[in-house]
Amino acid sequence: MIQRTYVIQVFVLAVSLTFKDLEQRDKWVAAWLPMVDQVRANEPGTLSYELCIGDTEPLKALVYERYVDRAAYEDVHRTSEAMAAFKEVTSKIKMQVQGQSYVETNHGFM
C-alpha cells in the first residue's frame, strides 16, 4: 500500500488568463519563465508553480500555485522584488485576469 504524506491547509491560487493574441501571450510567458527560476530557488514554501496553456484555446492559460500556507504566498511570494518586477512588465500586456484562492481538503491526491 502506498502511504501518502499531506501538508495540512495547503493554500492554492488559480489564475485564469485570456490574452488578446499570441504575441501578448508569448510576452507574458517570456516574463513568467524567470519567475519560475526565482520561485524555485528562493521560496521553499511554494509547493507548485505551474503554467498551463489551453489545448484547444491557445489564448487561454491557467496559473496554478500551491503554497504550504497562506503566509508563504502573502508574506513571501507576493511581496518579493521579483514579483514586483514581473507585475510591472506584465501590466502592459493585453489580457483579462481572473483569480481565485482555495484551501486544499486532502480528499484526493497530487
- Judge residue 109's burial from the number of C-beta atoms within 10 Å of its C-beta, 0-12 exposed, 13-18 middle, 19 or more buried: exposed
> Does residue 48 sit within a domain?
yes
pTM, entire model: 0.90
| pLDDT above 80 (res 63) | yes
Please give the pLDDT value at position 62. Answer: 99
> Does residue 108 sit within a domain?
no
Look at residue 85 and give its three-state secondary structure: helix
Angle at which helices 81-90 and 22-42 cross, to 10°: 180
> Does residue 91 sit within a domain?
yes
| pLDDT above 70 (res 34) | yes
* 8 Å CB contact between 12 and 101: yes
Q: What is the CATH number of the domain that holds 46?
A: 3.30.70.100
Report which of 43, 98, 50 is spatially closest to residue 68, judged by C-alpha positions.
43
Domain count for the chain, please give it. 1
User: What is the domain extent for residue 29?
Assistant: 11-102
> Does residue 82 sit within a domain?
yes
Please give the pLDDT value at position 109. Answer: 83
Q: Where are the alpha helices (H) located in the chain, listed in sequence order?
A: 22-42, 70-71, 81-90
> Does residue 69 sit within a domain?
yes
